[in-house]
Structure 1
Amino acid sequence: MNKTLSNTTQSHQLRKQMEASNVFFLVYVEVIVLLSCFNLHGFNLLGLVTASPVVRGNGTDQHALLQFKTKVTGDPLKIMESWNISIHFCQWHGVTCGRKHQRVTKLDLQFLKLSGSLSPYIGNLSFLRGLNLADNSFYNQIPQEIGRLRRLETLQLTNNSIRGEIPSNLSACSKLTLVDMRSNQLAGEIPASLGLLSNLKFLNFANNSLKGSIPPLFGNLSSLEVLSLAINALSGTIPEALGQLTNLSFFSIYGNAISGNFPMSIFNLSKIRSFDIGANKIQGTLHSDLGITMPSIEFFSVAGNQISGQIPISISNASNLNVLLFNDNRLSGNVPSLEKLDKLVNLGLGKNHFGHGKEGDLKFLCSLVNATKLKFLYIGTSNFGGELPKCISNFSTTLLNLVIEQNKIMGRIPNGIGNLINLEVLSALENQLSGPIPSEIGRLQKLNIFFAYTNFLSGTIPNSIGNLTMLIKLALNENNLQGSIPISLGNCQNLLLLDLSNNNLSGSVPREVLRLQSLSIWLDLSSNYLTGELLVKNLGSCVSLETLSLDDNLFEGPIPSSWSSLRGLVQLDLLDNNLSGGIPEFFVTFGALKYLNLSFNDFDGVIPSEGVFKNASATFVEGNNKLCGGIPELHLSRCNSKTSSTTSVKLKIAIIVVMLGVALVFTCLLVLWFRKKRQQHPRTICEENWLLQLSYQSILRATNGFSTQNLVGAGSFGSVYKGILEESGEVIAVKVFHLLHSGASRSFLAECEALKNIRHRNLVKVLSAISGIDHKGNDFKALAYEFMENESLEDWLYPSTSMNEPETMRNLNFIQRVNVAVDVAH
Structure 2
Amino acid sequence: MASYPLSHLILLLLPVFAFYFNHITAKHAHTTTSIHHHHHKNNHLKAKSNNRLEQAYIALQAWKRVIYSDPFNFTSNWNGLSVCNYTGIYCTQHPNDTTTQVVAGVDLNHGDMAGFLPNELGLLTDLALLHLNSNRFCGILPKTMSNLTQLFELDISNNRFVGPFPYVLLSLPSLKYLDIRFNEFEGILPPQLFNKNLDAIFLNNNRFTSVIPSNLGTSTASVVVFANNRLGGCLPPSIAKFANTLEELLLINTSITGCLPTEVGFLYKLKVLDVSFNQIVGSIPYSIAGLAHLELLNLGHNMMSGIVPEGICVLPSLNNFTFSYNFFCEEEGICTNLTSKGIVFDDRRNCLPEKPFQRSKRECDAVEKQPVDCFEHICGIKSNTTSAVTFHHIPLPSTSPP
Letter in 1 for 2:27: H
Task: Confirm or deny that 1:316 pairs with 2:313.
Answer: yes
Task: Confirm or deny that 1:44 pairs with 2:30.
Answer: yes
Letter in 2 for 1:136: N
Q: Is the 1:233–1:256 Cα contact (8 Å) retained in structure 2?
A: yes
Larger Rg: 1 or 2?
Answer: 1
Q: Deviations over 1:595-650 (max 9, x none)?
A: xxxxxxxxxxxxxxxxxxxxxxxxxxxxxxxxxxxxxxxxxxxxxxxxxxxxxxxx
Shift of 1:342: 5.3
Match of 2:67 in 1: 72
Q: Specify whether residues 189 and 239 from structure 1 end up closer, same or farther in structure 2 by C-alpha distance, changes over 3 A only.
A: same
Task: Confirm or deny that 1:232 pairs with 2:238.
Answer: no
Task: Confirm or deny that 1:242 pairs with 2:239.
Answer: yes
Shift of 1:330: 2.0
Match of 1:164 in 2: 163
Q: Deviations over 1:254-312 (max 9, x none)?
A: 01211122221112211111100111111222122423x11111110111112121101
Mapping for residues 513-532 of structure 1, pairs under 5 Å: none
Mapping for residues 51-62 of structure 1, pairs under 5 Å: 52-53=43-44, 54-56=46-48, 57=50, 58=52, 59-62=54-57
Letter in 1 for 2:119: P
Letter in 1 for 2:91: C
Q: Specify whether residues 342 and 133 from structure 1 end up closer, same or farther in structure 2 by C-alpha distance, changes over 3 A only.
A: farther
Q: Which of the pair has the greater relative contact order for Cα pairs under 8 Å at 6+ separation?
A: 2
Q: Is the 1:319–1:340 Cα contact (8 Å) retained in structure 2?
A: no
Match of 1:152 in 2: 151
Mapping for residues 627-776 of structure 1, pairs under 5 Å: none
Letter in 2 for 1:91: N
Match of 1:441 in 2: none
Q: Deviations over 1:661-714 (max 9, x none)?
A: xxxxxxxxxxxxxxxxxxxxxxxxxxxxxxxxxxxxxxxxxxxxxxxxxxxxxx
Shift of 1:217: 2.5
What secondary structure, in the 3-state scheme, does the structure 2 residue paired with 1:244 have?
Answer: helix
Shift of 1:83: 0.9
Match of 1:126 in 2: 125
Shift of 1:46: 4.7
CA distance in 2, matches of 1:283, 1:97: 52
Match of 1:179 in 2: 178
Q: Is the 2:260–2:285 Cα contact (8 Å) retained in structure 1?
A: no
Aligned residues: 332
Q: Specify whether residues 55 and 289 from structure 1 end up closer, same or farther in structure 2 by C-alpha distance, changes over 3 A only.
A: same
Shift of 1:148: 2.5
Where in structure 1 are there 5+ consecutive unaligned residues? 1-26, 356-360, 363-378, 385-826
Q: Is the 2:264–2:287 Cα contact (8 Å) retained in structure 1?
A: no
Task: Confirm or deny that 1:269 pairs with 2:267.
Answer: yes
Q: Is the 1:171–1:196 Cα contact (8 Å) retained in structure 2?
A: no
Letter in 2 for 1:94: G
Q: Is the 2:126–2:148 Cα contact (8 Å) retained in structure 1?
A: yes
Q: Is the 1:106–1:128 Cα contact (8 Å) retained in structure 2?
A: yes
TM-score where L is the length of structure 1: 0.38
What secondary structure, in the 3-state scheme, does the structure 1 residue paired with 2:217 have?
Answer: helix
Match of 1:96 in 2: 90
Match of 1:258 among 252, 256, 259: 256
Q: Specify whether residues 304 and 42 from structure 1 end up closer, same or farther in structure 2 by C-alpha distance, changes over 3 A only.
A: closer
Shift of 1:344: 4.0
Shift of 1:318: 1.5
CA distance in 2, matches of 1:191, 1:219: 14
Match of 2:346 in 1: 348
Match of 1:429 in 2: none
Letter in 1 for 2:2: Y
Q: Deviations over 1:467-487 (max 9, x none)?
A: xxxxxxxxxxxxxxxxxxxxx
Match of 1:381 in 2: 358
CA distance in 1, matches of 2:250, 2:151: 25
Identity of aligned residues (%): 22
CA distance in 1, matches of 2:272, 2:7: 12
Match of 1:201 in 2: 199
TM-score where L is the length of structure 2: 0.77
CA distance in 2, matches of 1:346, 1:127: 47
CA distance in 2, matches of 1:341, 1:231: 30
CA distance in 2, matches of 1:159, 1:46: 17
CA distance in 1, matches of 2:121, 2:250: 31
Task: Confirm or deny that 1:296 pairs with 2:268.
Answer: no
CA distance in 2, matches of 1:348, 1:335: 15
Q: Specify whether residues 154 and 343 from structure 1 end up closer, same or farther in structure 2 by C-alpha distance, changes over 3 A only.
A: farther
What secondary structure, in the 3-state scheme, does the structure 2 residue paired with 1:353 have?
Answer: coil
Task: Confirm or deny that 1:108 pairs with 2:107.
Answer: yes
Shift of 1:205: 0.9
CA distance in 2, matches of 1:185, 1:269: 31
Mapping for residues 289-438 of structure 1, pairs under 5 Å: 289-291=287-289, 293-338=290-335, 344=342, 346-355=344-353, 361=354, 379-382=356-359
Shift of 1:42: 4.3
CA distance in 1, matches of 2:209, 2:63: 30
Match of 1:495 in 2: none
Match of 1:744 in 2: none
Q: Is the 1:323–1:344 Cα contact (8 Å) retained in structure 2?
A: no
Q: Is the 1:311–1:336 Cα contact (8 Å) retained in structure 2?
A: no
Q: Is the 1:321–1:344 Cα contact (8 Å) retained in structure 2?
A: no
Match of 2:211 in 1: 213
CA distance in 1, matches of 2:340, 2:64: 54
Shift of 1:166: 2.0
Q: Is the 1:316–1:341 Cα contact (8 Å) retained in structure 2?
A: no
CA distance in 1, matches of 2:323, 2:338: 18
What secondary structure, in the 3-state scheme, does the structure 2 residue paired with 1:179 have?
Answer: strand
CA distance in 2, matches of 1:344, 1:46: 35
Match of 2:58 among 38, 52, 63: 63
Letter in 1 for 2:223: V
What secondary structure, in the 3-state scheme, does the structure 2 residue paired with 1:280 have?
Answer: coil
Q: Deviations over 1:314-362 (max 9, x none)?
A: 023213222211111121124531467656453111222122xxxxx45
Match of 1:138 in 2: 137
What secondary structure, in the 3-state scheme, does the structure 1 residue paired with 2:187 have?
Answer: coil
Shift of 1:188: 1.7
Match of 2:278 in 1: 280
Q: Deviations over 1:224-260 (max 9, x none)?
A: 1100010111111112222211211110110121112
Letter in 1 for 2:7: L
Q: Is the 1:320–1:341 Cα contact (8 Å) retained in structure 2?
A: no
Q: Is the 1:219–1:245 Cα contact (8 Å) retained in structure 2?
A: yes
CA distance in 2, matches of 1:230, 1:205: 7
Match of 1:620 in 2: none
Q: Deviations over 1:474-529 (max 9, x none)?
A: xxxxxxxxxxxxxxxxxxxxxxxxxxxxxxxxxxxxxxxxxxxxxxxxxxxxxxxx
Match of 1:28 in 2: 2
Letter in 1 for 2:322: L
Match of 1:189 in 2: 188
CA distance in 1, matches of 2:217, 2:313: 30
Mapping for residues 582-597 of structure 1, pairs under 5 Å: none
Letter in 2 for 1:74: S
CA distance in 1, matches of 2:74, 2:334: 58
Shift of 1:35: 2.8
CA distance in 2, matches of 1:102, 1:334: 63
CA RMSD after TM alignment:
2.3
Letter in 2 for 1:41: K
Q: Is the 1:289–1:314 Cα contact (8 Å) retained in structure 2?
A: no
Q: Specify whether residues 144 and 240 from structure 1 end up closer, same or farther in structure 2 by C-alpha distance, changes over 3 A only.
A: farther
Shift of 1:218: 2.6
